[in-house]
Chains A and B, each alone.
Chain A
Amino acid sequence: MLNKQGRPTQPAESSTEIGQGSETYSGNKGLNLESPLIFEQGLDGRIGVDMAEPKQVESRLGSIARKNPIGLPDLSEPQVLRHFVRLSRQNYAIDSGFYPLGSCTMKHNPRINEKVARLAGLGDLHPMQPTSTVQGALELIDSLAHWLKTITGMPAVAMSPAAGAHGELCGVMAIRAAHEAKGEARTRILVPESAHGTNPATAALCGYKVDAVPAREDGRMDLDAFAEKLGPDVAGVMLTNPNTCGLFESDVKKIAGMVHEIGAYFYCDGANLNAILGRTRPGDLGVDAMHINLHKTFSTPHGGGGPGSGPVVLSDALSAFAPVPFITHGDNGFDLVEHQEGQAEKSFGRMKGYHGQMGMFIRALAYMQSHGSDGLRQIAEDAVLNANYIRVGLDDLMRSPFEGICMHEALFDDSSLKGTGVTTLDLAKALIDEGYHPMTMYFPLVVHGAMLIEPTESESRQTLDQFIGTMRYLLEKAKAGETEMFEQAPRFAPRRRLDETGAARHPVLRWVPETDEEEEKLSQAS
């Protein structure tokens, strides 16, 4: 079957296709093991545990008692284990290979972080324990807050936001609260085209009209267009720095000055903090609010591996509006301010249950302390060096839309593929066959057929050389007209191209046993 782009969706069937002779009786291919849906594996009465018959008790559920079976499959323990182990082996993770997904900072998650997070005194905590019994945990949050404030040069930090976009929401809610406290109803937020896609969504969610600022030819925000858009109804600007083109917004201080002059606030998307860690402090650039992705910059697992965590650093102008809870130093040690009163009178409220992603706080602090301030600085240096190594390694075969040195990610457009019949998507799928997670593609939108590659500082020169070699091999094949390997890609993945549009437009969210349908038809017929 072909998907809407004319690419195959199932493993190769006919022997004329690439991958011939790879079919097996079982459907498994060596270590690549198939697994039916877990619902399809159930067999009535099969059970994985030996439990005593429950005592007969009278049901008190009355009319709300369930009448139909809940439809869970009956399975044995080895079946369940094999199913999920097989699925996990079809996953691609930073622990299995190079993952150069631009704008996502998929760096190595050091195991010391995991060891510390599992210490009994931390791993066994419950968020509802009295504060007197969790002084160490509160001190840990407070220490992490201190590191974040020091690294960013900002006076305050809200720890509870659960991820990057939640952090943006926190920052923009603080901005709105600050304007409201002054009795001002501002309606517009300026967002440059080079910002993260979540920025305009955040502004819109907070009720603001999003006004896009175009990019200059060098990939940075157009200052003249920006100046024209400034006005008394502008609540703030949301700038990503370094931006999604992998470039440092060199006019950032000027931008901050212009924003403050009209009484607006400067939100900086800190998703790319990895590139400037220990080199530049956002506080010195005039930033009023910035979220920090602990799950990017500070190596806590993400992308399905763990929850995100997005603390937001705030300037003096916004700190009074920070969400509860936050930690204070009282007479009896550390304490939590949980309500909008006293010190937190102006707080815009609570964003999340409990105190934030504690497990990620532990890992992030372990990462910081094991690196030290010199190590954190070197992270930024190595991340930028690695990205430029890739940029230079490919620049005779691919075109960078913006000249000069990049920050932590290298950006290419698809002009090198023009006329070959191979698209950015095809190239990305061919990378899967080569054993790589593809780069970010078709983003940023301002670049045609964009490919955004972020190697991070975790990778060795050997890994980068092999990746560059792979990219060069694929590009040369495409330019030589050998397009079949691209049209067929991915050839070696458990599934071929999926019909993503079909899945989005006609999602099948519930498994229905086929036999039941047949029985139903039969019973209807009789």
Chain B
Amino acid sequence: MALKFTEDHEWVLLEGDVATIGVSNYAQEQLGDVVFVEVPEVGADLAKGEELAVVESVKAASEVYAPIGGEVIEVNTELEDSPTLVNEEPTGGGWFAKIKVTDSSDLDELMDEAAYKSYVEGLDE
């Protein structure tokens, strides 16, 4: 399964019924140095579009919304001590949370990597 992207620059990786969520490379570039990430609590039930995390960078604090609904089953505790993982490995070690997905059809409207790439290029023009 490949990464899927939202217009708000979150990414989702669905493996079985577990979705890993983070922000894209474009998002971390725009944010600048990340200094703090507030992740949700394990066990929290999130609806699609609800606040999943807050990312604080040297520039601003921004909310990250859940691109897909479900129960939070794991959060990335490494971000507490190393928030810059979001800058260094946005689509790898900088993930925020894993969600047990209730309805995977939420993912259908998201962009694949190629579509997201051209979407981002459009923003930079």
Contacts and interface: CB of A to CB of B under 8 A. Distances in A.
B32 interface: yes
A375 interface: no
Contacts of B83: 4, 501
Contacts of A424: 32, 58
A425 to B, nearest CB: 5
Contacts of A501: 35-36, 56, 83
A410 to B, nearest CB: 19
Centre residue among A424, A501, A505 by max chain B CB count within 10 A = A501
B48 interface: no
A402 interface: no
Nearest to A505: B36
Interface in B17-47: 29-30, 32-33, 35-36
B58 A4 contact: no
Size bracket, chain B contacts: 10 to 19
A449 interface: yes
B84 A6 contact: yes
B36 A423 contact: no
Contacts of B81: 4
B1 interface: no
Interface string A410-439: 000000000000011100000000000000
B60 A445 contact: yes
Nearest to B60: A445
B36 A4 contact: yes
Contacts of A423: 32-33, 58
Contacts of A445: 59-60
A500 interface: yes
B32 A500 contact: no
B32 to A, nearest CB: 6
A83 interface: no
B30 A448 contact: yes
Interface in A475-526: 500-501, 505
A424 B35 CA distance: 14
Task: Give the interface centre of B56, B58, B84 by most chain A CB atoms within 10 Å.
Answer: B58
A1 to B, nearest CB: 13
Interface of B: 29-30, 32-33, 35-36, 56, 58-60, 81, 83-84
24 contacts: A4-B36, A4-B81, A4-B84, A5-B33, A5-B35, A5-B58, A5-B84, A6-B84, A423-B32, A423-B33, A424-B32, A424-B58, A425-B58, A441-B58, A442-B58, A442-B59, A442-B60, A445-B59, A445-B60, A448-B32, A501-B36, A501-B56, A501-B83, A505-B36
Given A449-B32, A501-B36, 8 more contacts: A425-B33, A441-B58, A442-B58, A442-B59, A445-B60, A448-B30, A501-B83, A505-B36
